[in-house]
Amino acid sequence: MKLLERAHLGNMVLKNSMAMAPMTRSRAGMDGVVGDSTVLYYRQRASAGLIISEAINISKQATGSPLTPGIYTQDQINAWKKVTRAVHEEGGVIYAQLWHTGRVGHSLVKHGEQPVSASALGIQGQQHFTMEGMKDYEVPRALTLEEIKQIIQDYKQAAMNTMEAGFDGVELHAAFGYLPDQFLADSSNHRDDEYGGSMENRNRFVLEVMQEMVAAVGENKAAIRLSPTSTYNNISHQQPVEQFTALIEHLNKLPLAYLHLMKVPFPADKFPQYPADAVETFGKISKHPVIANCGYTRETGEAELQKGIARLISYGTLFLANPDLPKRFELNAGLNQPDRATMYGGKDQGYIDYPFLTRTT
């Protein structure tokens, strides 16, 4: 079974071809520091060939959702050291996913600060969770050129901090409508300077961030996650095939660890310009190993690997509810069902109490 075969990623050999996808769990403190339960949560799932952490805020400004972790203070870095040590003690490999939410946030979560984005265009038809309940999205403030340059440096510093914290590498969260995706999408980027207008200009922010992250962590340790067909958070692309092809061709010139592609379903009648299969369309362009993500099962993940485009399959909710997912796949055993009521926030219930096949901790 290809899912259970060893895989090479950068300079590392992974114990199998299954990755744990990044999943926001909102279990950090108000100061963005993760605790002992988070250490156990990741330790429990270290049988994954690769763990990609939940999204981690690169700065105070980057924070958009409550109780999400950061990696911009020493206390935050020290807390993540306990997580990476635990994963490594179990023979695991863990990358940190770096996050700037941009307009996907609210001033109630940002100490009164207005969210920022590529342009002053708010998200319509959705609401955002705050500690005061669900709220309509606010119109973000368009970033100045000086601020853009600072955020790029914030990504670089955060990447350096992940190395201090003991992570094996970093992944840029450039998917699902967060800040890098806001620069990529013509629906959210109406700038008329070097970061807007043409596809080349809209790709610029992501490429400059990736260049700085590579400089911070070294070759074959930086990666990126893209969702070319996701329409979540009011993101849409008029020419997705042309734009993401150009982006990936530029990424091919950088010494990256992998390209993480989300195969997000979309309403085909509303977006006829979108490719039916993002992994097949864009994965075959990549010169870097491809990780395929979004809704895969044991059978469909195996079939995706058999195609030869993806090197690994990443699983989200299946790893959330089944800390020993590789063993369950190996034995074709039954799966725990995720408790959706405890996915975000709360304490240990629905976090570290999902049963193993043969043990409970």
Annotated catalytic sites, by residue?
A: 178
Q: Name residue, tokens 């089944």.
A: 322
Of residues 299, 347, 339, 295, the one with CA closest to residue 321: 339
* Pairwise CA distance, residues 354 & 360, whole Å: 8
Residue 260 contacts residue 224 (beta carbons within 8 Å):
yes
Structural Rg of the chain based on CA atoms: 19
Element (H or E) spanning 249, and its range? helix 240-251
Residue type, 69: P
- Does residue 283 contact residue 274 with C-beta atoms inside 8 Å? no
Half-sphere exposure of 190 (CA within 13 A, CB side): 9
Cβ partners under 8 Å of residue 162, min gap 6? 56, 71, 80, 96, 98, 169, 170, 217
CA distances in angstroms from 266 to 177, 184, 227, 231, listed in the order given: 14, 18, 11, 7
Q: Which of 17, 16, 26, 13 is nearest to 57 (CA)?
A: 26
What are 8's strand-pairing partners? 13
Strands annotated E in the chain: 7-9, 12-14, 18-20, 50-57, 94-99, 116-117, 127-130, 133-136, 141-142, 169-173, 222-226, 258-262, 290-293, 312-315
